[in-house]
Amino acid sequence: MCRPPSEQTVRNMVGTSISQDVTVTKIQPFPSLRPQRVYRVDLSDNTTLHLVLPPLSMWRPLRSEQAIVATEVTAIDWLHQVLIRNSSSSSPCSSRSSGRGSEEINKQQNEDSKTLLRLLPSLVQHGQDTTTALRELFAFYEPSQGTAVALSEPKIPDDPNSPERQQIDLEVGTFYRRLLTQPGLVSPTGRFGPLAAVIPLLQPSQPPRTQPGAGGLFGTGGAGTWSVAFHSMLEGVLRDGEDMAVVLGYSTIRRHFRRLGYLLDDVTVPKLVVVDAAHDSNLLVERIPENDGGGIRIAGLQSWSNCTFGDPLFATVFSDPADLPPPPPSASFLKGFNSTSPPPPPSSASTVTAVTSNYLSTLNPQIIEALPSAPVRLLFYQIYHVLTRIVSEFYRPRPDSTTRELEARRKLNVMLAKLAEVPDDFLCPPDNHYSSLPATPNSSASASTKSLSKREHSVARPTGEMSPAKRMRELEVPIPKK
pLDDT in tens, 19-51: 888 999 999 999 888 899 999 999 999 999 999
346 cis-preceded (ω within 30 degrees of 0): no
CA distance 76 to 144: 12
436 in a domain, yes or no? Answer: no
How do strand 283-287 and strand 271-274 relate by DSSP bridges?
unpaired
- Can you tell me whether residue 151 is helix, strand or coil? helix
Q: Is the pLDDT of residue 114 over 50?
A: yes
**Higher-confidence residue: 51 or 353?**
51
208: CB partners within 8 A, 6+ apart? 477, 479
pLDDT averaged over every residue in the chain? 80
For residues 97-112, average pLDDT = 72
Q: What is the pLDDT of residue 100?
A: 59
pTM of the model: 0.83
Say if residues 167 and 295 touch (Cβ distance below 8 Å): yes
Q: What's the pLDDT at 130?
A: 75
Question: Is residue 108 scored above 60 in pLDDT?
Answer: yes
Res 418 pLDDT > 80: yes
Q: How far apart are CA 444 and CA 196, in angstroms?
A: 48
Least confidently predicted of 271-275, 323-327, 372-376: 323-327
pLDDT in tens, 180-196: 999 899 999 999 999 99
Tell me if 149 sits within 8 A of 285, measured CB to CB: yes
pLDDT in tens, 206-235: 443 444 455 567 777 899 999 999 999 999
Q: Is residue 47 one of the residues assigned to a domain?
A: yes
The pLDDT tens digits for 286-300 are 998 888 888 899 999
Phi, psi angles (nearest 5°) of residue 44: -70, -15
Dist. CA 115–CA 175, nearest whole Å: 9
> Which of 22-26, 55-59, 375-379 shows the lowest mean pLDDT across its residues?
55-59
pLDDT score, position 136: 83
In a domain, 276, yes or no: yes
At 2, the pLDDT band (50, 70, 90 cuts) reads low
DSSP 233: H
List all residues 6 or more positions away from 290 whose beta carbon is below 8 Å from its beta carbon. Answer: none
Pick 451 or 368 by higher pLDDT. 368
Is residue 93 pLDDT above 70, yes or no?
Answer: no
What band does 110 get if pLDDT is binned at 50, 70 and 90?
confident
Answer whether residue 354 shows pLDDT above 80. Answer: no
Nearest Cα to Cα of residue 27 among 152, 140, 131, 135:
140
pLDDT tens-place string over residues 442-464: 333 333 333 334 454 344 443 33
pLDDT bin (cut points 50, 70, 90) of residue 329 is: confident
Task: Please provide the DSSP assignment of 451-479 as one string.
Answer: T--HHHHH--PPTT---HHHHHHHH--PP
**Is residue 440 assigned to a domain?**
no
Residue 149 in any domain: the answer is yes
416 within a domain of the structure (yes/no)? yes
Please tell me the predicted confidence (pLDDT) of residue 202. Answer: 80
- Structural domain range at position 155: 7-427+449-464
By percentage, how much of the chain surpasses pLDDT 90?
53
**Looking at the domain assignment, is residue 54 inside a domain?**
yes
Q: What is the dihedral of CA 404, 406, 408, 413, to 10 degrees?
A: 180
> Rounded CA gap, 203 and 356, in Å?
42
Count of structural domains, the chain: 1
CA distances from 145 to 32, 274, 336, 437 (A): 13, 19, 22, 59
Better pLDDT: 477 or 190 = 190
Q: What is the rounded CA–CA span in Å between residue 85 and residue 54?
A: 30
Q: Is residue 472 part of a domain?
A: no
For residue 270, pLDDT over 50 is answered with: yes
> Which 3-state string (H, E, C) describes 32-56?
CCCCCEEEEEEECCCCEEEEEECCC
Q: Select from 198, 235, 234 the least CA-distant residue to 218.
A: 198
The pLDDT of residue 134 is 65
**Helices (H) then strands (E): counts for the chain:** 16, 11
Residue 465 has pLDDT above 90, yes or no: no
